Amino acid sequence: MSVVLALEDFGSENSGLSNFVLSEETLEDRRLSAFEGGYKAGWDDATIALATEQRNLALQVQQHLLDISFTYHEARSQILKNIDPFISELLNKFIPTIAQDSIALQIRTELLTLVKSHLDGKVMIVASQEAHTYLEETLRNESLPHFLLESDPNLASSQVYLRVGSSEKCFDADALIQDAKIKISDFFREQQGRIING
pLDDT, one tens digit per residue, over 127-184 is: 888 878 777 777 776 655 567 788 888 888 778 888 877 777 787 877 777 777 788 7
Q: For residue 31, give the DSSP letter.
A: H
> pLDDT per residue over 34-65, tens digit each?
999 999 999 999 999 999 999 999 999 988 88
| CA–CA separation, 52 and 47 (whole Å) | 9
**Residues 158 and 174 sit within 8 Å (Cβ to Cβ):** yes
Sheet strands (E) in the chain: 123-127, 148-151, 159-164, 167-172
| 119 half-sphere exposure, CB direction, 13 A CA radius | 1
CATH 1.20.120 is the classification of domain 99-197: no
| Residue 177, C-beta contacts closer than 8 angstroms, at least 6 positions apart | 91, 95, 96, 99, 158
| CA–CA separation, 24 and 37 (whole Å) | 20
pTM above threshold 0.75: no
